[in-house]
Structure 1
Amino acid sequence: DNGYKVYLGARLGGELGAGAQIVPPADAGIEAAIRAVGPLAQVPLGPAGQVLGDDLVASYVDRAAAVVTPDGPRDLKVAYTPLHGVGAAVLTAAFARAGFPVPGVVPDQAEPDPAFPTVGFPNPEEPGAVDRLVALADATGADLAIANDPDADRCAVVVRDGSGREDGQGWRMLRGDEVGALLADHLMRRGVTGLYATTIVSSSLLRAMCAARGLPYDETLTGFKWIVRAGAGAHPLVFGYEEALGYCVAPGHVRDKDGITAALTVAELAAELKARGRTLVDRLDELAAEFGVHHTDQLSVRVDDLRLIADAMARIRAATPTTLLGQPVTEARDLLPGADVVILRTAAARVVVRPSGTEPKLKAYLEVVEPVANGDVAAARDRARAAVAALRAEVAAALGV
Structure 2
Amino acid sequence: YAIRHLGAVSGVEVTASHNPPRDNGYKVYLGDGSQIVPPADAEIAAEIDAVRALADVPRPESGWEILDEGVLDAYLARTDAVLAAGSPRTARTVYTPMHGVGKEVLLAAFARAGFPEPVLVAEQAEPDPDFPTVAFPNPEEPGAMDLAFAQARASGPDIIVANDPDADRCAVAVPAGGDWRMLRGDEVGALLAEHLVRRGARGTFAESIVSSSLLGRIAEGAGLPYEETLTGFKWIARVDGLRYGYEEALGYCVDPEGVRDKDGITAALLITELASELKEQGRTLLDLLDDLAVAHGLHATDQLSVRVEDLSVIADAMRRLREQPPAELAGLAITKAEDLAEGTELLPPTDGLRYTLDGARVIVRPSGTEPKLKCYLEVVVPVAGHADLPAGHAKAAELLAAIKRDLSAAAGI
User: What's the TM-score bracket when you normalise by the shorter of the two chains?
Assistant: over 0.9
Query: Is 1:25–2:39 an aligned residue pair?
Result: yes
Summarize deviations over 1:172-225 as a string: whole Å, max 9, x none: 000000000000110011110111011111111111112222211111111100
User: Counterpart of 1:34?
Assistant: 48
1:328 to 322, 333, 336: 333
Query: Is 1:308–2:291 an aligned residue pair?
Result: no
**Partner secondary structure for residue 329 of structure 1:** strand
Summarize deviations over 1:330-381 as a string: whole Å, max 9, x none: 2111011421100001120111011111222211111111111443212101
Matched-pair contact (CA < 8 Å) for 1:65–1:95: no
Summarize deviations over 1:27-64 as a string: whole Å, max 9, x none: 22222333444543243321252221111111111111
User: Counterpart of 2:71?
Assistant: 56
Alignment map for 1:188-227 (pairs within 5 Å): 188-227=197-236
User: Counterpart of 1:77?
Assistant: 92
User: Counterpart of 1:280?
Assistant: 285
Query: Is 1:387–2:399 an aligned residue pair?
Result: yes
2:294 to 283, 289, 300: 289
**Partner secondary structure for residue 147 of structure 2:** helix
**Aligned equivalents of 1:256, 1:188: Cα separation in 2:** 20
**Aligned equivalents of 2:108, 2:275: Cα separation in 1:** 19
Query: Is 1:318–2:323 an aligned residue pair?
Result: yes
Matched-pair contact (CA < 8 Å) for 2:329–2:402: no
Aligned residue identity for 1:64: T
Matched-pair contact (CA < 8 Å) for 1:66–1:98: no
User: Counterpart of 2:26?
Assistant: 4
Summarize deviations over 1:251-297 as a string: whole Å, max 9, x none: 00100000000000000000000000000000000001111111110
User: Counterpart of 2:191?
Assistant: 182
User: Counterpart of 1:45?
Assistant: 59
Matched-pair contact (CA < 8 Å) for 1:153–1:260: yes
User: Counterpart of 1:165?
Assistant: none
**Partner secondary structure for residue 82 of structure 2:** coil
**Aligned equivalents of 2:224, 2:106: Cα separation in 1:** 31
Normalising by structure 1, report the TM-score.
Answer: 0.92
User: Counterpart of 1:166?
Assistant: none
* RMSD over equivalenced CA pairs, Å: 1.4
User: Counterpart of 1:14?
Assistant: none
Structure 1 residue runs without a partner (length 5+)? 10-17, 163-168
**Aligned equivalents of 2:409, 2:398: Cα separation in 1:** 17
**Aligned equivalents of 1:142, 1:148: Cα separation in 2:** 17
**Aligned equivalents of 1:274, 1:305: Cα separation in 2:** 48
Query: Is 1:121–2:136 an aligned residue pair?
Result: yes
Aligned residue identity for 2:155: T
**Aligned equivalents of 2:325, 2:265: Cα separation in 1:** 42
Q: Comparing 251-260 with 106-115, which one deviates more in the overlay?
A: 106-115
**Partner secondary structure for residue 51 of structure 1:** coil
**Aligned equivalents of 1:389, 1:222: Cα separation in 2:** 24
Summarize deviations over 1:215-249 as a string: whole Å, max 9, x none: 1111111110011112xx3xx10000110000000
Query: Is 1:354–2:352 an aligned residue pair?
Result: no
**Aligned equivalents of 2:160, 2:172: Cα separation in 1:** 6
User: Counterpart of 1:13?
Assistant: none
Matched-pair contact (CA < 8 Å) for 2:37–2:234: yes
**Aligned equivalents of 2:75, 2:314: Cα separation in 1:** 42
Normalising by structure 2, report the TM-score.
Answer: 0.90
Aligned residue identity for 1:126: E
Summarize deviations over 1:92-129 as a string: whole Å, max 9, x none: 10011011111111122111111112222211111221
Matched-pair contact (CA < 8 Å) for 2:29–2:35: yes
Query: Is 1:396–2:408 an aligned residue pair?
Result: yes
**Aligned equivalents of 1:56, 1:170: Cα separation in 2:** 40
Structure 1 pair 104–331 and aligned structure 2 pair: CA distance change class (3 A): same
**Aligned equivalents of 2:124, 2:57: Cα separation in 1:** 41
Matched-pair contact (CA < 8 Å) for 1:176–1:243: yes
Structure 2 residue runs without a partner (length 5+)? 1-15, 17-23, 343-348
Structure 1 pair 305–41 and aligned structure 2 pair: CA distance change class (3 A): closer
**Aligned equivalents of 1:42, 1:367: Cα separation in 2:** 51
Equivalent residues, number: 383
Report how far residue 304 of structure 1 moved: 2.6
